[in-house]
């Protein structure tokens, strides 16, 4: 577990996840220049956030979206075995939770329980959304919203920060999820 606390190694791993997600987004959407330019701009902001180690929640949401999109792209285009995809999701999202948890400070005796719970919730949502015929961008936005909601729970309830209210996280996540489903293209290959 010492490698999770090494700041240089943590920045390298988060940067690799960011670059991997951006490359998969570019390869899947290279003809849509506006979307590619937008994701590059947001990824530059994410890279700055990773290097300066600020805004852990923004970094988690961005990396959750980018990683989920990369997994959905691999799932649809390369027909990877499901077990490999499931293990990869558990590893990547487990690491993302560990990074965010270190930033917000959950009590150490509950850390492992919530790490496994977060990874399993993301995995289950990923698998359920793979049965819907919505595009990977919408599916990835739902995954990012679930990550936001879970970290909001950890931040406001478990870490007991006084400046945060879980009801606000719940309302925002519900509204975003409804907006995603109302505006999504209902085809697996739509972008």
pLDDT at res. 78: 80
Domain coordinates of the chain in residue numbers? 2-183
Mean pLDDT of 98-114: 77
pLDDT at res. 176: 92
Mean pLDDT of 160-185: 84
d(CA 159, CA 100): 12
Residues 6+ apart with CB under 8 A from 116: 94
pLDDT surpassing 70 at residue 184: yes
pLDDT at res. 16: 92
In tens, the pLDDT along 15-71 reads 999 999 988 888 888 788 888 888 889 989 989 988 888 888 888 899 999 999 999
Calculate the alpha carbon distances from 105 to 47, 76, 101, 136, 155 in Å: 22, 36, 6, 32, 8
d(CA 147, CA 65): 9
Question: Is 69 exposed, middle or buried, given 0-12, 13-18 or 19+ CB atoms closer than 10 A?
Answer: buried
In tens, the pLDDT along 5-16 reads 677 888 899 999
Q: State the chain's mean pLDDT as an integer.
A: 84
Mean pLDDT of 154-162: 74
pLDDT surpassing 70 at residue 187: no
pLDDT at res. 159: 67
For residues 115 and 94, is the Cβ–Cβ distance under 8 A? yes
């Amino acid at each position: 577990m010492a490698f999770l606390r090494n700041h240089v190694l943590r920045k390298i791993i988060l940067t690799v996840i960011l670059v991997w997600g951006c490359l998969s987004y570019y390869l899947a959407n290279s003809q849509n220049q506006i979307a590619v330019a937008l994701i590059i701009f947001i990824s530059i902001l994410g890279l700055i956030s990773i290097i300066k180690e600020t805004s852990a929640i923004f970094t988690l949401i961005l990396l959750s979206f980018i990683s989920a999109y990369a997994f959905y792209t691999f799932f649809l285009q390369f027909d990877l075995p499901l077990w490999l995809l499931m293990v990869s999701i558990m590893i990547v999202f487990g690491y993302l939770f560990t990074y965010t948890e270190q930033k917000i400070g959950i009590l150490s005796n509950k850390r492992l329980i919530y790490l496994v719970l977060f990874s399993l919730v993301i995995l289950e949502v990923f698998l359920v959304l793979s049965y819907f015929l919505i595009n990977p961008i919408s599916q990835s936005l739902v995954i990012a919203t679930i990550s936001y909601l879970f970290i909001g729970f950890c931040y406001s309830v478990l870490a007991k920060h006084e400046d945060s209210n879980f009801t606000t996280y719940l309302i925002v996540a519900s509204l975003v999820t409804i907006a995603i489903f109302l505006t999504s293209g209902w085809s697996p290959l739509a972008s």
